[in-house]
Amino acid sequence: MPLTAWFWTAHLIATHSNGISAVQLANQIGVNDDTAWLLLHKFRAAMTDRERQPLRGVVEVDQAEIPFRSNDDPSVPDGGKIKIIGAVEIVDRNTGEPPRTDFNRLYRNTRPQRVRLALITDEGQESIHAFVRANIAAGSTLLTDGHSSYLGLDVGNAADRYVLDQRIVGNMAAHLVLFWVHRVFSLVKRWGTGTFHGFRARHVQSYLDEYVFRFNRRYWRRASFDRILGLAVAHAPHNYAAVVGRQPRPNRRNPPQRHVSRSRKTEGGMRQDGVKTASVPKTPEAPKPSRLLHIDRPGTPG
């Protein structure tokens, strides 16, 4: 595959506002669908920056369920629901600074800054606490609903605890209290249903990482293209077995031992595989005498 195909893939996946599917990418760079699918997943594996800074200030945190595509009917996303958790860092719309923590009012006139998304197996305290501590800096204000799994994050040492601002949603719509994190959930669902016609359950985390990468760099398209190239170069090799979660094939430098040896036909006869024979230089053949053709001409002695 030419190197230009890799650069075009990085450019399209980083700068396309609605994302790009494998079928669309295949038509753009002139490869088949399977190759385009593998290229996209290779770049998705490198989209998580290991040196990224955690969210700070006032952070909205909540859980949601998104549909995934079934194998029986791939055109309809009715395979089931997957639990995800999201965190959105909000700042003041005018100043760009984190708003002051206030337990008695809603945070109006704000905008989202950065976002984090992750797949969780359940809504237990262990899963939620692990996500918060891995993605949000200690001392930040967690704006959440009244879920009991968030309890305990506001206790402990001063260097490890958070400011917990829980709002009881009740019968009202959740987006009225946690506006930006539910806006992100809505956009993720619309993106998955529109661009991919439903996520695959096995690769949901890869799609979430791609969405986070493009959302956090939505104002810097050129910088996102440069950044994805840098992350891909620094990433370890990621082959098809790593994408689908299979064991890689054995090293070809250590082939399996054969019980019955094989032979192949060579110029010197049959030779057993694995046995190297010294090559004998060929002796140059003597030049063949040229055949002279005697032509009788009229008037010349025979």
Confidence at residue 119, expressed as pLDDT on a 0 to 100 scale: 93
Q: Mean pLDDT, to the nearest integer, of 204-208?
A: 92
Confidence at residue 7, expressed as pLDDT on a 0 to 100 scale: 93
The helix (run of H) or strand (run of E) holding residue 102 is none
Comparing 106 with 111, the larger pLDDT belongs to 111
Residue-averaged pLDDT of the chain:
84
Are residues 222 and 164 both part of a single domain?
no
Determine, yes or no, domain membership for 158.
yes
Of 12-16, 67-71, 248-252, 291-295, where does mean pLDDT reach its minimum? 291-295
Are residues 91 and 148 both part of a single domain?
yes
Are residues 37 and 142 both part of a single domain?
no
Q: Using DSSP, how many helices (H) and how many strands (E) does the chain show?
A: 8, 7
* Two tokens, residue 287: 């030049």
Are residues 115 and 165 both part of a single domain?
yes
The burial class, CB within 10 Å (0-12 / 13-18 / 19+), for 205 is middle
Confidence at residue 61, expressed as pLDDT on a 0 to 100 scale: 96
pLDDT (tens digit per residue) in 145-192: 989 999 999 888 888 899 999 988 877 777 888 999 999 999 999 998
Determine, yes or no, domain membership for 210.
yes
* Two tokens, residue 139: 């001392």
Are residues 38 and 160 both part of a single domain?
no
Confidence at residue 37, expressed as pLDDT on a 0 to 100 scale: 93
Number of compact structural domains in the chain: 2
Are residues 156 and 222 both part of a single domain?
no
- Is the model's pLDDT at 212 over the cut of 70? yes
* Nearest by Cα to 184 from 161, 215, 157: 215
Edge-to-edge strand list for the sheet holding 80-92:
110-119, 80-92, 58-68, 141-144, 163-166
pTM metric for this prediction: 0.76
Are residues 195 and 72 both part of a single domain?
yes
Domain containing residue 229: 1-46+218-247
